[in-house]
Chain A
Amino acid sequence: MKEQELLVNDLVVRFSNVNGTGSASANEMFAKSIFRMGIPVTPKNIFPSNIQGLPTWYEIRISEKGYLGRRAGIDLLVGVNPQVLRRDIDSVRPGGYFVYDSSKKLYDEFIRDDINYIGIPMISLAMGEYESARLQQLFKNIIYVGAVATLLDVEIDVVKEVIAEQFAKKPKLIEPNYKALQLGIDAVKENYSYPLNVRVERRDKVGDSILIDGNTACGLGAIYAGATVMAWYPITPSTSVAKAFETYCKKLRVDPETGKKQYAFIQAEDELAAIGMVIGATWNGARSFTATSGPGVSLMNEFIGLSYFAEIPVVLINVERGGPSTGMPTRTQQADLISSAYASHGDTKHPLLFPSTPAECFEHTVKAFDLADRLQTLVMLISDLDLGMNNHMSPPLKWDDDKKYDLGKVLSAQDLEEMEKPFGRYLDVDGDAIPYRTIPGTHPTKGSFFTRGTSHDEYAKYSELGEVYLRNVDRLAQKWETAKTLVPQPEFYQKENRSDIGMLFFGTTTYAAMEAMDLLEAEGIVLDSIRVKAFPFHAQVEDFIEKHKQIIVVEQNRDAQFRSLLINEMDLDPVRLLSVLNYDGTPITALTIKSQIEKHMAVAM
Chain B
Amino acid sequence: MIQLAGVSRTYVVGGSPVHALKGVDLAIGAGEYVSIMGPSGSGKSTLLHLLGCLDRPNAGSYRFGEAETTTMTEAERCRLRRHQIGFVFQFFHLVPRLTAVGNVELPMIFAGMPPGERTERAWQALEGVGLGARAGHRPDQLSGGEQQRVAIARAVAMRPSLLLADEPTGNLDRTSGSEIVGLMERMNQSGLTLIVVTHDPQVGGRARRRVRLSDGLIVADERHGAGGPSSAASAATV
A pairs with B: no
Q: Residues of B at under 8 Å CB distance from A?
A: none
